[in-house]
């Protein structure tokens, strides 16, 4: 029989009844503690910065949503009619929140040890294939470090276009490396991400010059 906490964990705020936002808040902290502790144990010589980036890559919305989808959690979600019609059971934010809420539920009902057992089980594949420190650097940092190490000037970024209404804009940014005659364009829902996109494309072009 499903417990009240489990029902709450799988109930989105769009549905009737008590929803999972408080359990999600709790589960987020429990998940963070478990993953942080596991990374600390696994990589004893890792720097604080590397550990922080690793943790962020493991507990972000995308990673959580993929794990939730793998568990088939979307099939159990209790959603309002609007979310059901729009495919809310596949929405990354909803899946990620539900998984955190489920972790909070396990912690409340069975304790930290069982929550840890569950988290490490579902994260086993990711923990066994952790990215390197260089892989986790954002594109702008990787590009800048690479260029500086070879004596080139820093890349130049410029916002070239903003489209859409205020609440749903698309930003287009340019990344230029004059010394290598490279100019790339990136776009995203924020200026920062658009620049990151342009930097990633520029880095690919730079590597072709090697």
Written as six digits, the tokens of 64 are 């959580």
Could you say which of 83, 100, 116, 197 is catalytic? 100
Query: Is 114 marked within a binding site?
Result: no
Q: Provide CB contacts within 8 A for 130, sequence distance 6+.
A: 42, 43, 54
Instruction: State the Cα–Cα distance between residues 130 and 134, nearest whole angstrom.
Output: 12
Angle at 61 between CA 60 and CA 64, to 5 degrees: 85
What residues does 185 pair with on adjacent strands?
174
Tokens of 18: 């008590």
Q: Which of 4, 16, 21, 28 is catalytic?
A: 28
Decide if 95 contacts 68 (C-beta within 8 A).
yes
Instruction: Specify the DSSP element, H or E, that contains 197.
Output: helix 191-208
Residue 197 annotated as catalytic: no
Whether residue 55 contacts residue 45, with contact meaning beta carbons closer than 8 Å, is answered with no
The reply, when asked if residue 97 is annotated as ligand binding, is yes
Dihedrals phi, psi of 169, to nearest 5 degrees: -100, 155
Establish whether 100 is an annotated binding residue: yes
Is 100 considered catalytic here? Answer: yes
| Helix 112-122 vs helix 92-110: crossing angle, to nearest 10 | 140
Annotated binding site for Mg(2+): 24, 97, 100
Annotated active-site positions, please? 28, 100
Annotated binding site: 24, 97, 100
């Amino acid at each position: 029989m499903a417990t009240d906490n489990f029902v709450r964990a799988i109930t989105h705020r769009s549905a009737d009844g008590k929803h999972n936002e408080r359990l999600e808040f709790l589960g987020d902290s429990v998940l963070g503690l478990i993953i942080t502790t596991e990374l600390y144990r696994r990589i004893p010589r890792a720097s604080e910065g590397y550990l922080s980036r690793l943790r962020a890559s493991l507990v972000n919305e995308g990673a959580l949503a993929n794990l939730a989808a793998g568990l088939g959690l979307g099939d159990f979600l209790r959603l309002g009619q609007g979310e059901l019609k729009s495919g809310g059971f596949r929405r990354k934010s909803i899946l990620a929140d539900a998984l955190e809420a489920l972790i909070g539920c396990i912690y409340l009902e069975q304790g930290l040890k069982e929550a840890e057992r569950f988290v490490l089980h579902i994260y086993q594949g990711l923990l066994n294939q952790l990215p390197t420190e260089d892989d986790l650097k954002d594109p702008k940092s990787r590009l800048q470090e690479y260029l500086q190490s070879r004596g080139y000037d820093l890349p130049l970024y410029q916002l070239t276009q903003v489209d859409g209404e205020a609440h749903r804009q698309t930003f287009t940014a340019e990344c230029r490396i004059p010394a290598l005659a490279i100019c790339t364009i990136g776009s995203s829902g924020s200026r920062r991400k658009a620049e990151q996109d342009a930097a990633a494309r520029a880095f690919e072009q730079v590597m072709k010059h090697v």
